[in-house]
Structure 1
Amino acid sequence: MHSVYSDGELTPEQLAAGARASGLDFLATTEHNTSEAHGAWSRHVGDDLLVILGEEVTTRTGHWLALGIRPGQVVDWRYGLRDERVERQLDEVHRAGGLCVAAHPHAPYPSGTFMYPYQGFDVVEVWNGLWSSDAPWNADNEAALAEWGRGLAADIHRGRWRPAMGNSDTHLEGQIGIPHTVVPAEELSADAILAGIRAGRSWIAGSAAVELSFTASAGDRSAGIGERLKAGAAPAEVRVGVRGVPSGTVSLHTESGNMHRASLPDSGAGTVEWRTGAADAAFVRVEVRHPDGTWRRSATRSS
């Protein structure tokens, strides 16, 4: 989120109120190239709302998010791809225990398109809400999702895949939580939230009205979002539960492409089941789209 401390129009107080009204448990303050807002958030948080300190690092050849940095820490942004300086900044964030996110890779404005290789980054933002207030899903997000999805199989094969993230990139009223990243965590703390995202135990939602469950089972073993299922030669049963997407479409994807599709009823609640195996699927990724084709959620699991 961006506030009046950089190029946003809302104060931290207004953003905190909006986050609570949208059903969010946490948010990240990511002003452009400054930490000035870090100290302004303390009086607006509580047991019901966590604020993760961050920065949107706005370089000449792409933007990236430094999440979980120290209070007052500023990550340098004065470089581009040819300067070969981004790696040392990523290392600086990692030493602070933070996450580095490739932001809006296909943003249609100067410096917004992400030109750095994903190597060294922990997460890829595949859904950015800034330019899509009137239409929650646009061509830039579709391109980011496709690019990330194409690299997923190779990343899993190498043993290190980059989870996806969705962010509202809030600058104006009405943008909060569209979309947001959902993280099942044992506690509401920055360490727990960042650990869940780093491990891929997260998914993306267009609003708090949308719910998702995902399990894959083989015999007496099972795995959820971001977890690994050791199925061996046994078939795996994939089960997806959805609420809040009336007449939506659920599709299941592997390295072979879109392998299964099912429709949700008018109520928006339903369960989809599919059978696969380790020989056919190194991972299963879920998309749930509304009838107009907009995308609301993606979950990944390696098996």
Structure 2
Amino acid sequence: MSSSDFPPVRAAGRGPAWYRGDCHVHSVHSDGELTPEALVAGARAVGLDFIATTEHNAAARPGVWGHLAADDFLILLGEEVTTRTGHWLALGIESGEVIDWNHQAGDGRTGACLDRVHRAGGVCVAAHPRAPYPSGDFMFPFPGFDVVEVWNGLWTSDRPWNADNDAALAEWARSLAADIRTGSWRPAMGNSDTHLEGQIGTPHTVVLAEELSTAAVLAGIRAGRSWIAESTDVEGSFTARADDRVAGLGERLATHGGQAEVRAAVRGVPAGTVGFHTDRGEVHQASLPEDGAGTVRWNTTAERSAFVRIEVRHPDGHAAALTNPIILA
């Protein structure tokens, strides 16, 4: 088997940068309607930098994806592990590797499957935890998984948001404060779960990575150095500052007992709202102008806020962007 049968694990990219990617897609090699060629063409057309192959209970086939990678486009290998008590994404697995799906919540076999992904340097994602169909509702406990897919675009109509995503986001948010205190919090991510034409990248995850490589992208996702965008039309910058110290998403800001200014700069959400959320719920909200571009600032302290995360929403309440937290100490 030639090394060109599978995509390379590194692309030239832009060096350290924010990269946009969709880590949950299906082709004709599982239950999708698009060829790998069409998926990659669609991803590149909407401005993505990477995707992950996630066929149901199957490895990426040799010779199918390798020729589609490019210097400016990365293809990660993965699998949607589809069990009777929930689905999860195994991202960054080895070429030809298949993770066993013959396990279910409470049977004691899930841990070995997660360990296998982790030994390969991969990331385990709890997929669409409140999906409205048999086996889609996630019954496994979150401990052991690295990331939660709080935003899944499959079961939506004109915009990639629905009540099931609201429920998944709320569940993740409720656990965040306790998990941050124990140092074991799980970042959020969003993916399209593409099966049909026109779904790719709605939503997707924007990741700060040292380079455009499998290892670097997964490191950014695992650390929560990421946010979720409805589409590539939505742009954002999210930071917190205390004196001359600045922290970004997934990072810890030392405030030394002083004030922290949290800043959200957003484009592409006309007349939207920017909400700041802490361990006390939503604590501040501001409106964006009609052209959708604006910067919102809010001050807090580590005593009042263990972390701050940001939700950007359209006037109808549908999400446009969600961030992972900035942790205050």
- Residue 224 (structure 2) aligns with: 200
Distance (Å, rounded) in 2 between the aligned partners of 1:38 and 1:264? 47
Residue 38 of structure 1, CA deviation = 5.4
Quick one: distance in 2 between partners of 1:198 and 1:145?
18
Determine if contact 2:60/2:95 at 8 Å carries over to the other structure.
Answer: no
| Structure 1 partner of 2:308 | 284
Alpha-carbon offset, residue 26 of structure 1: 0.3
1:1-303 equivalences in 2 (<5 Å): 1-37=25-61, 39-299=63-323, 300-303=325-328
Give the partner amino acid of 1:4.
V
* Counterpart secondary structure, 2:52: strand
Q: Which has the higher contact order (CA 8 A, sep 6+)?
A: 2
In structure 1, give the amino acid aligned to 2:326.
R
Instruction: Provide TM-score, normalisation by structure 1.
Output: 0.98
Structure 1 segments, 4+ long, off by >4 Å, are none
1:48, 1:274 → 2: CA distance?
A: 36
- Could you tell me the percent identity over the aligned residues? 68
- How far does the alpha carbon of each residue in 1:133-172 deviate from its partner, in whole angstroms, 9 at most, with x for none? 4332100000000000000000000012100000000000
1:82 Cα offset (Å): 3.1
Unpaired segments ≥5 residues, structure 2 = 1-24
Contact 1:38 1:53 in 2 (8 A): no
Structure 1: give runs of 5+ residues left out of the alignment: none
TM-score normalised by length of structure 2: 0.91
Q: Following the alignment from structure 1 to structure 2, what is the Cα–Cα distance between the partners of residues 63 and 47? A: 32
Letter in 1 for 2:255: A
Measured on the aligned residues, the alpha-carbon RMSD in Å equals: 0.9
Letter in 1 for 2:89: L
Deviation, 1:37, is 3.4
Moved more, 243-252 or 75-84: 75-84
List per-residue Cα deviations over 1:180-201 (Å, max 9, x = no partner).
Answer: 0001222111111000011110
Shift of 1:80: 1.3
The SS at the match of 1:119 is: coil
Amino acid across the alignment from 1:90: L
Shift of 1:238: 0.8
Amino acid at match of 2:143: Q
Note if contact 1:29-1:38 (Cα within 8 Å) is conserved in structure 2. no
Q: Deviations over 1:85-125 (max 9, x none)?
A: 11110000000000000000001111110000000000000
What displacement does 1:36 show?
A: 3.9
Check whether the contact 2:60–2:77 (CA below 8 A) recurs between aligned residues: no
CA contact (8 A) 1:251 1:258 kept: yes
| Count of equivalent residues | 303
User: What code does the residue aligned with 1:84 have?
Assistant: G
CA contact (8 A) 1:31 1:37 kept: no
Q: Tell me the distance in 1 between the aligned counterparts of 2:44 and 2:254.
A: 39
Report the Cα distance in structure 2 between the residues aligned to 1:260 and 1:36, rounded to whole angstroms: 45
Q: Following the alignment from structure 1 to structure 2, what is the Cα–Cα distance between the partners of residues 140 and 243?
A: 26
SS in 2 for 1:15: helix
CA separation in 1, counterparts of 2:230 and 2:90? 23
- Residue of structure 1 equivalent to 2:19: none
* C-alpha contact (below 8 Å) 2:60/2:78 kept by paired residues: no
